[in-house]
Amino acid sequence: MADPKSKSGVVMFANGENGLEIAKPIIDKAMGTDSLAFAWLK
């Protein structure tokens, strides 16, 4: 996930099949916003 405006980003690697379950809360916290990139996970 990257935000060119603020020149910030985060990369997450997970070693397991449940990585996407924890990805959204981590990315949201790191970026300080609700990430729409994970909307398809519903």
- Taking the CA atoms of residue 21, residue 8, residue 3 and residue 18 in that order, the dihedral angle to the nearest 10 degrees is -10
Residue type for position 2: A
* pLDDT at 16 (0 to 100): 86
**Residue 39 confidence (pLDDT):** 78
Per-residue pLDDT of the chain (42 residues; tens, 9 = 90+): 888 988 988 998 989 888 888 888 888 898 888 877 777 776
Q: Over the range 1-35, which residues count as b (16 or more CB within 10 Å of their CB) and which as e?
A: beeeeeeeeeeeeeeeeeeeeebeeebeeebeeeb
Residue 42: the pLDDT is 60
Q: Say what the pLDDT of residue 32 is.
A: 87
Q: What is the pLDDT of residue 23?
A: 87
- Contact between residue 29 and residue 12 where contact means Cβ atoms under 8 Å apart: no
